[in-house]
C-alpha cells in the first residue's frame, strides 16, 4: 500500500500543494483580518491566500470557536456590478449549499457584510488536478482510475440531485489533504426539470421528444467532460486542443481526436465511449463505473501526497 506522507510536501507556488504567501497576495486591504458572521456570531481569522477566480479571492479562514480552517471565497460587492454576475453567484450558492457528498467540496455556509459576500467551503489543501498535472505532465493509469472513479461517484450524486455541473475540468477537481477528489465551482451548474416535475406538469405520454431529450442531453455533457478530463490526465493535453478556438471547435464537431498508443486498450475503449458524438450513446455514470478500465488493472485504495510531484510506487 502507498505510504502516506504527513503534512504538505511542497509549498513552492509553482508546485501542487498549499501555496505560500507572496507579498502581493497580502495587499488585500479591503478584507479585514477578522471577519464576523453576525447571524451566528462566528469570527473567522483570515489566513493564507489560496487562489483567485473570476470574482473571488480565496483565503484560508479559521473559525475561531472551533479552530477549523476553511477555504473562504470572498467576493467584493463592488465587483458584482451586472445583474448576471449577481445571478451567477446566487445560483452557485443556491445549488452548492444543498449538496453533501464525499466527492463534492463541502459548502458550510455563506454570509455577507457591507463590502463582501463570503462563501465558506471545505478547505482542499492539495489544490487541484490542474496543479498536479502541470507538475507531473501525465499520470499513470492506476492514478487515473482512482481520480476518475471518484469524479464519477461525485457526478453520479450531483446528477441524482437533479443538477448538471456544466463546467467539469481539472481546475474544478479539488484535492483534499488525503488526495481525494472534491468537485467544486458550481457557478455554471443548472438544475434540470427532473422526472417528478415532468410528471406533475402533464401527461407523460404526450411529452415531446425534444423535451425529454433536453434533460438527457445536458446530463450527457458532463459525461463528455469526464472523457476530456480522463484523456488529459493520461495523455498530458486535452483531446481537441489546437492553436485556435475555431479549429478546436471544428475538431469537437467532427469528433476528431487521436488516442496515442501509450493508452491501454481498456482506457482507449472508455475514452471512446465517453467522447461518443451522440450524447445518447455515451455511457451513464453507473455504466461507466462498471467499465473494464476500472475493474481490470491496479486500483489503488488511496494515493500518497507524493503523487503531486512524483510517480508513486504501487506495490
Ligand atoms: P471563481 O469561481 O471565482 O473562478 P474558484 O472557485 O475557481 O473561483 O476559486 C479560485 C481559486 O481559489 C482556485 O483556483 C483555487 O486555487 C482556490 N480555491 C477555491 N476553492 C477552494 C477550496 N475549497 N479549497 C482550496 N482552494 C480553493
Closest residue by Cα to atom 15, ligand 1, is 51
Q: Provide the pLDDT for residue 215.
A: 52
Contact 142/299 with Cβ under 8 angstroms?
yes
Measure 124 CA to ligand 1 centroid, in angstroms: 9
Q: Choose one of 58, 128, 175 to mutate for the ligand 1 pocket test, by most ligand atoms within 8 angstroms of C-beta.
A: 58
ipTM computed for the complex = 0.95
The model's confidence at residue 87, banded by pLDDT at 50, 70 and 90, is confident
Among the listed residues 39, 24, 105, 38, the one whose alpha carbon sits nearest the alpha carbon of residue 72: 105
pLDDT at 282 over 80: yes
Q: Provide the pLDDT for residue 191.
A: 85
Measure 99 CA to ligand 1 centroid, in angstroms: 17
Ligand 1 binding residues, C-beta < 6 A: 50-56, 58, 71, 105, 121-124, 127, 171, 174, 184-185, 187
* Distance from C-alpha of 281 to C-alpha of 142, rounded to nearest angstrom: 26
Closest residue by Cα to atom 4, ligand 1, is 53
Q: Please measure the distance between the N-terminal and C-terminal CA atoms of the chain and give it in whole angstroms.
A: 6
Ligand 1 atom closest to 187 (CA): 2
Closest residue by Cα to atom 2, ligand 1, is 53
Tens-place pLDDT, residues 6-28: 334 334 444 555 554 444 444 45
pLDDT at 39 over 60: yes
How many CA atoms lie less than 13 Å away from 247 in the CB half-sphere? 7
DSSP 155-218: HHHHHHTTEE-S---GGGEEE-TT--EEE---TT-EE---HHHHHHHS-GGG--HHHHHHHHHH
pLDDT at 195 over 70: no
Q: Provide the pLDDT for residue 142.
A: 97
Instruction: Report, as an integer, the average pLDDT of 124-130.
Output: 95
User: Is 73 flagged in the annotation as binding?
Assistant: yes
Highest mean pLDDT among 50-54, 62-66, 88-92: 62-66
Maximum Cα interatomic distance, the chain, rounded to a whole number of Å: 63
Angle at 54 between CA 48 and CA 56, to 5 degrees: 35
Helix axes 209-235, 141-160, angle to 10 degrees: 160
Please give the model's pTM, rounded to 2 decimal places: 0.86
Instruction: Report, as an integer, the average pLDDT of 188-217.
Output: 60
- 30 by Cβ neighbours in 10 Å (0-12 / 13-18 / 19+) ranks as exposed
pLDDT at 46 over 60: yes
Q: What's the whole-number average pLDDT of the chain?
A: 87
The model's confidence at residue 207, banded by pLDDT at 50, 70 and 90, is low
Measure 58 CA to ligand 1 centroid, in angstroms: 6
Instruction: Report, as an integer, the average pLDDT of 151-168.
Output: 95
Q: Any idea which residues carry the catalytic annotation?
A: 167
Amino acid at each position: 500500500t502507498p505510504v502516506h506522507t504527513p503534512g504538505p510536501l511542497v509549498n513552492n507556488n509553482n508546485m501542487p500543494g498549499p501555496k505560500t504567501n507572496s507579498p502581493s497576495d497580502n495587499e488585500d486591504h479591503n478584507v479585514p483580518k477578522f471577519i464576523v458572521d453576525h447571524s451566528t456570531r462566528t469570527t473567522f481569522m483570515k489566513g493564507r491566500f489560496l487562489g483567485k477566480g473570476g470574482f473571488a479571492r480565496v483565503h484560508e479562514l479559521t473559525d475561531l470557536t472551533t479552530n477549523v480552517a476553511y477555504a473562504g471565497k470572498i467576493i467584493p460587492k463592488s465587483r458584482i456590478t451586472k445583474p448576471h454576475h449577481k445571478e451567477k453567484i446566487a445560483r452557485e450558492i443556491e445549488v452548492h449549499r444543498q449538496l453533501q457528498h464525499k466527492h463534492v467540496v463541502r459548502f458550510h455556509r455563506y454570509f455577507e457584510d457591507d463590502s463582501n459576500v463570503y462563501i465558506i467551503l471545505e478547505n482542499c489543501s492539495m489544490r487541484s488536478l490542474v496543479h498536479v498535472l502541470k507538475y507531473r505532465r501525465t499520470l499513470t493509469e492506476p492514478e487515473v482510475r482512482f481520480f476518475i472513479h471518484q469524479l464519477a461517484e461525485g457526478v453520479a450524486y450531483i446528477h441524482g440531485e437533479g443538477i448538471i455541473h456544466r463546467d467539469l475540468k481539472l481546475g474544478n477537481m479539488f484535492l483534499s489533504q488525503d488526495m481525494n477528489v472534491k468537485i467544486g465551482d458550481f457557478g455554471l451548474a443548472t438544475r434540470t426539470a427532473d422526472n417528478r416535475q415532468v410528471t406533475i406538469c402533464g401527461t407523460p405520454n404526450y411529452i415531446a421528444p425534444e423535451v425529454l431529450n433536453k434533460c438527457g442531453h445536458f446530463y450527457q455533457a458532463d459525461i463528455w467532460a469526464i472523457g476530456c478530463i480522463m484523456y488529459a490526465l493520461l495523455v498530458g493535453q486535452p483531446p481537441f486542443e489546437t492553436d485556435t478556438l475555431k479549429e478546436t471547435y471544428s475538431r469537437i464537431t467532427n469528433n476528431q481526436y487521436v488516442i496515442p498508443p501509450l493508452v491501454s486498450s481498456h482506457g482507449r475503449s472508455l475514452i471512446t465511449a465517453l467522447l461518443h458524438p451522440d450524447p445518447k450513446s455515451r455511457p451513464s455514470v453507473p455504466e461507466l463505473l462498471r467499465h473494464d478500465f476500472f475493474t481490470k488493472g491496479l486500483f489503488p485504495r488511496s494515493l500518497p501526497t507524493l503523487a503531486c510531484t512524483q510517480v508513486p510506487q504501487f506495490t
